[in-house]
C-alpha cells in the first residue's frame, strides 16, 4: 500500500474514533440519528444545526412541527417557515414513532 493510502486510512480511522467519543445518545435519539442520516440528509445538511442545499437547519425542531411537516406535508397552525418553499412532500415511509425518534435526536 502506498504512503498516501496509509495516510488516508489513518485519517479515516481517526475520524471514526473521534465520532465514537461524542455525546452518548439515548436509544430513541440514536434511532432518530439513523433515520435523519438515511432519510433527511439528501436535502438537509448532515449536521442538523446547518442549513442544507434544499432544506433548512432542523436542530431544535419541535415534535409538533416534525409531525405536521414529515407526516402530513404541512406546517402546524401559526408556524412561520424558515424558507418560503413547499418542496418537501409527506414522508410516507416514516411512522409516528420514527418522527418521535427524529425529535429526540434533533432536540
* Domain spans, the chain: 27-106
Give the integer Cα–Cα distance in Å for 29 and 37: 12
Of 44-48, 85-89, 91-95, which range is least confident? 85-89
Q: How far is the C-alpha of 103 from the C-alpha of 61, rounded, in Å?
A: 7
How far apart CA 59 and CA 22 sit, in angstroms, is: 17
Band of pLDDT at residue 4, cut at 50, 70 and 90: low
The domain 27-106 having CATH identifier 1.10.760.10: the answer here is yes
| Mean pLDDT over the full length of the chain | 85
- If one counts every other C-beta atom within 10 angstroms of the C-beta of residue 4, the result is 8
Burial class (CB in 10 A: 0-12, 13-18, 19+), 102: buried
Which pLDDT score is estimated for 2?
A: 55
CA angle 68, 66, 69 (to 5 degrees): 40
pLDDT for the residue 84: 77
pLDDT over 60 (residue 17)? no
Q: What is the pLDDT of residue 18?
A: 45
- Kindly report the pTM of this predicted structure: 0.75
Amino acid at each position: 500500500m502506498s504512503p498516501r493510502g496509509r495516510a488516508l486510512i489513518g485519517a479515516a480511522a481517526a475520524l471514526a474514533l473521534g465520532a465514537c467519543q461524542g455525546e452518548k445518545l439515548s436509544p430513541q435519539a440514536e434511532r432518530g440519528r439513523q433515520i435523519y442520516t438515511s432519510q433527511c440528509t439528501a436535502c438537509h445538511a448532515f449536521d442538523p444545526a446547518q442549513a442544507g442545499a434544499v432544506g433548512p437547519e432542523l436542530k431544535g425542531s419541535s415534535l409538533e412541527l416534525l409531525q405536521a411537516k414529515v407526516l402530513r406535508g404541512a406546517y402546524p397552525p401559526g408556524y412561520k417557515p424558515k424558507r418560503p418553499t413547499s418542496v418537501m412532500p409527506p414522508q410516507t415511509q416514516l411512522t409516528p414513532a420514527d418522527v418521535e425518534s427524529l425529535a429526540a435526536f434533533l432536540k
